Amino acid sequence: MTFSTRFSNAATALALLVLLPLTVQAQNLGSFGQTYPIWEPDALQELQERASQVDWKKHINPEALKKKVWEYQPQDLARLSRAQKDRIFQVDMSYTVPKDIPDGRGGILYPAGYRFNPLEYVSYPQVLVVFDGSDPDQVKWFKDSPYLLEPRAKPMVAGGNAFEVMNQIGRPVFYLPYEVRDRLQLKAVPSVVLQKGTAMEVREVYVSKSQ
């Protein structure tokens, strides 16, 4: 049985386990005593009416809100130092199951400690391009690189303001979270990450400082 088939079976079994109790308990117990029709106001209409009565300008400062959104940075923004030289290394994406995964039939689909590499079953078409958005040299490097017009490229910043960088390069920009940094073992920027066979390849790029 292939991994995808086993995964599908597990998902189906899990869905059945969740839905079965609901189905069993949904019984018609009949009616007892005198019954009355249930009347409830239209909740959405009520909310709309209340909202229309609020003077939002007194409670919301558009400029302050815009400034807050513009300056937002996630708490888990992962910052990385500048690459000191060109370097290429590969990252094994194998994952170890931390606990038993049931198959829904009283057995175990995957036991705790089972190890597998997801890239043996699926592909990752995107190219992650990670750089420091607060470093003008790295922003210029990205703008001059072929990744600027590459639709598969996903720019991620390990510093700086994503909105400012987005305005500079003219495409969506994402923040680099700790989880992605740690999973891909990123150490320096700029880094270009793409799939190579059953591993992810990380290419650190040296960018010289402008005078």
Q: What is the CATH number of the domain that holds 156?
A: 3.40.30
Spatial contact of 87 and 93, defined as CB atoms under 8 Å apart:
no
Does residue 9 lie within any of the structural domains? no
Helices 162-169 and 136-144 pack at an angle, to 10 degrees, of: 40
Is pLDDT above 80 for 14?
Answer: no
Does residue 119 lie within any of the structural domains? yes
Does residue 197 lie within any of the structural domains? yes
- Angstrom CA distances, 195 to 24, 80, 86, 201, 202, stand at 47, 21, 18, 6, 9
Does residue 183 lie within any of the structural domains? yes
Sign of the Cα torsion 184, 94, 89, 143 reads negative
Q: How far apart, in whole angstroms, are the C-alpha atoms of residue 199 and residue 95?
A: 12
Host H or E run for residue 123: none
> Domain of 171?
81-204
74-88 confidence digits (pLDDT tens): 788 899 999 999 999
pTM for this one?
0.66
Does residue 56 lie within any of the structural domains? no
* Neighbouring residues of 23: CB distance < 8 A, sequence distance ≥ 6: none
Does residue 73 lie within any of the structural domains? no
104-152 confidence digits (pLDDT tens): 899 998 899 999 898 999 999 999 999 999 999 999 999 999 999 999 9
Is pLDDT above 50 for 156?
Answer: yes
pLDDT value for 178: 94
pLDDT value for 53: 75
Q: What is the mean pLDDT of the chain?
A: 80
Q: How far apart, in whole angstroms, are the C-alpha atoms of residue 139 and residue 130?
A: 10
Q: Count structural domains, the chain.
A: 1
Q: Binning pLDDT at 50, 70 and 90, where does residue 185 land?
A: very high
60-74 confidence digits (pLDDT tens): 666 665 666 666 777
| CA-angle at 61, arms to 57 and 62, nearest 5° | 100
Q: How far apart, in whole angstroms, are the C-alpha atoms of residue 126 and residue 195?
A: 8
Helix (H, G, I), strand (E, B) or coil at 56: helix
Does residue 48 lie within any of the structural domains? no
Is pLDDT above 50 for 167?
Answer: yes
pLDDT value for 64: 61
Does residue 36 lie within any of the structural domains? no
Q: Binning pLDDT at 50, 70 and 90, where does residue 43 land?
A: low
Nearest CA-CA partner of 193 in 174, 167, 169: 174
Nearest CA-CA partner of 123 in 93, 157, 153: 93
State percent of the chain over pLDDT 90: 57
Look-up: residue for tokens 């937002």?
Answer: 72
Name the least confident of 12-26, 75-89, 151-165, 186-200. Answer: 12-26
